[in-house]
Structure 1
Amino acid sequence: MTPLQPQRLDSRDAAFNLQLDALLDRAPEISAEITTVVDDIIAAVRRDGDAALIGFTNQFDRRSVQQAGELALDAAALEAAWNSLPADLRDALSAAAQRITAYAEHQKITAFEFTDAHGNRLGQRITPMGRVGLYVPGGKAAYPSSVLMNAIPAKVAGVGEVVMVVPAPDGELNPVVLGAAHLAGIDRVITIGGAQAIAALAYGTQTIPAVDKIVGPGNAYVAAAKRRVFGRVGIDSIAGPSEIVIISDGNTDPRWLAMDLFSQAEHDELAQSILISPDAACLDAVEAAMNARLSELDRHAIVRASVGHRGALILAKDWDDAAAISNHIAPEHLELAVDAPRALMDKIRHAGAIFLGRHTPEAFGDYCAGPNHVLPTSRAARFSNPLGVYEFQKRTSLIECTPEGAKVLAPIAGRIADAEGLGAHAASARDRS
C-alpha cells in the first residue's frame, strides 16, 4: 500500500505563510450551475407549493407520492422507530441528549432592566422564535447526533415548533434518525429534501408552514438554497468541510493523535486535518502511526484522499508560534494535547471548540460531551460562534422614559438629528422637552 504522506510545512521557511494560505484555500463548493438549478427550484416551490414539492420529491428521490399528506410522519411513526432501536443505542442517545440539554440550559440569555439617573427604565427582553426548521440528510446516512445538536437547543430556548425535513430516497428512512427526532421532541417531520425542502421551510406551502430560521447540514444544493433564502429567514451558517487542528507536545500517544486526525478526515475528501508541534519527532511519530492505523478504517479511501490533499504536519518554532499558526487557521475543532492545556489555551483567540488535554478527543464533542458540534468552519471562527440556545432567542430592547427623563434626552437627540438633517426626528424629540 502506498504510504500516506501528509504535506510537511515548517514555519521557519520563508514561504511558509504562502504555503499555509494555499493549504487553507478551499475552493467554494457552490458552483454557478448549482445556483441556477437551486434558483429554479425555489421559484417553482414559491409558485406551485405542494405540487412542486411532490414533483421534485418524485423526481429526485425516486418516489411515487400523490398527495402532500403522504410526505408527513406522525408521532406514532417516530415512537415506533425509537422503540425499534437496540437498547444500548437508546441508552447512548438518551445519555447524549441529557448532556446536550444540561449544557444548553446554561446558555440561556437573560433579560435585564435598570433605571438610569433620570428615572428612565432601560432593558432587554428575551423571547424564543416561533418556529424553526431543521434539515437532516436522509437515505442511508445516519446522523442522529445532528438531530440532537440542532433540535435540543431550540427546545431549551422555548421555540414553539420544530419542523424537521429529511429526504427519503427510494422511500428509505433511517430509524436511528427518526428515533432521535422522537427523543428530541421534534414536533413535525416531513420527508422531503434538497433545495425544495429549504424553499418550503422559507416560504411555506399549502401544508408546510414557513419557519423563522433554518438550521442543519446538507449538500451543495442545500447550502446554495440556504444562502438564497437568507433574509427571508435566518440560517445557522453555510458550513464548509469539517476540519481539525491538533497542537501536541509529543507526549500524547501518537496512535491516539493519528485517529483523532482521521476522525475528521473520514467525513469527506475536502475535510482538513492538521497537526502542529515544535517537536519534529512528534510529527514523525504521528505520521508513522497514521500509516499503521489507516487500514483499520472502512473509509480509508476517503481518509487517504483528505489527508493527501488537505492534511498537513506543521513544525512550529515554539508554543507562541504554534498558537499563532492555529489562530490564523481559526479551526472548527482544536485539540490541545499538551501537559498544560489551559496555559496554551490563553494564547488561543480563534477556534470553534477547544478540546483540552490528552484525554479529550474531538469525537467526544461530536456526540456526547455537551457543547454543540455545529461549529464555524473555513476560518469563520474569527467572527462566528457555535450553534446554541442563543441562536433561537431574540433580544428586544426596552426603553421607558419618565417626563423628567424625556426632558434630558430631548435636546441630545434633537441636536444629533439636526446634524443628520432629519427634521422629523429632531421635532419628535423636542416635543418631549
Structure 2
Amino acid sequence: MAAAPVRAPLKLAPYISLVGAGVLIFTGLFSLAPSLPALRQHFIALPNIDVLVQIVGAGAAFTFAIGCLLSGRLIERAGYRSIYVGSLLTMGVAGTSAALIDNIYLIILTRAIVGFAVAGIVNSVLVAINRLLNEQAEARALGLQGAIGSVMAIGLFPIMGFLTSVDWRLAFSAHLIAFLFLPLALMLPVAASGEEHGEPGDFASAVRNVGALVGASAVFSGIVIFALAMFGPLFVLSLGVTDPQMQSLPPTATVIGSALGSWLTIPLRARFTLSRLLALTLFVEFMGLAVIALSFSFPGVIAGTLLGGLGTGLVAPILYACVIKASTGNPASGLGLMNALIYGAMILFPLVAMPLAQLVGSPRLMLMTLVGCGLLLMILLLLRTWHSGLPGRPVE
C-alpha cells in the first residue's frame, strides 16, 4: 500500500507557483509565434530558411512531448521540488540565451532544451498538486492552472508582438519569467521521492493508469486543439474574410473558450463523476468541430471555435484527475504519458490533416470524421460508466 500523500498547508506564494505554471507552458512552447516572421527575415540568406524557422517554432513542443515521457521517473526519484527548480533554471537560461545567439541552428538547440525544461515544470507541478492538496483543493488548482494560462495567453501574444516590433531578440526575454517563479518554487515543501509515496511506476504501470479510453480521449483532444487553431482561420478565409484582425478572431475565441472551460471544471467536478464529466467534455469538443464544419457564416465559425475552446479548457484538468485517481503510487509517470499523448497528437496530426482531408473529400468532411470519432469515444465512456463496477479506474 502506498503511503498517504503529504497534505502540508500551502501559503499564497508557493500556491501561486503551482496554479501559475500555465504561464510557463505558454511562454516556453507558444509565445514565440509572433516573432517567427522577423526571425525569418533576419536569417533570410540561409538555405531552407522556411523549414528552419518552422523548426524554431515547433522544436520546443516536440521535445516537450518526449520530455513528458522521461520526466516522470526523474520526479519519482528526485522529488517534484528538485525537478521543478532545476527545470525553471534550465528554461530561464536556455530560453533567454537565444537572444545572444546569431546562429539559427544554436537557437534551435536552445528551443529543444526549453521543451525538455517545460516538460519537467509541468509534470513536477502536477505531482506537487496531487501530493500537497486534498481532493477538493486539487480540483480547484487544476482548473485555476488552465484558466490562468489561457487568460495570460490572451494578453501575452500582443506583448510578444510589441517586443518583436522593437527587436526579434527581445521576444526571447519572455523566458525570464521562469526566474520569477524560482523563489516561489523554493517555498514548496521538500517532498520525499517516489519511494516514500509508493513504488516508482514504469511505463507499463503508466499505461495502465492512463487506460485505453482516457488515453484515446487525450489523443482526440490534442487533435481538436490543432484543428481549432488551423481550421477556424481557414474557414474564415474561405468565407472571403481577408482582414488579418478579423482572421485573428477564431483563435481569440478559442483561447477565451479555453479560459472559461478551465474555470468551469471547478464547480463541475463537485457535480459529476470523472467519467461523465469527460464524456460531457468530449461532447462539447466535437460539437465545436461540427459547428465549424457546418457553418457558412463568420459568426458560425466564431461560435464553433468558442465552443471547441470551451471543451479543450475543460479536458486537461479532467484528464489529469483521471490519471491521479487511477495511480496507486506516484502519478508522475502516468501524468507524463498523458501530456505526451495530448501534445504528441498536436504535433503529429498536422502530418496527416491535409492528406486526410483530401482522402475524405474536403476539410469539412474531415472535421465531421473527427466528430464521429469523438461521438464514439463519448458513447464508450458512458457505457463504461453504466456497466463497469471496477473501483479505482480512471473514468470511475
TM-score by length of 1: 0.25
**Whose radius of gyration is greater, 1 or 2?**
1
Larger strand share, 1 or 2: 1
TM-score by length of 2: 0.27
Larger helix share, 1 or 2: 2
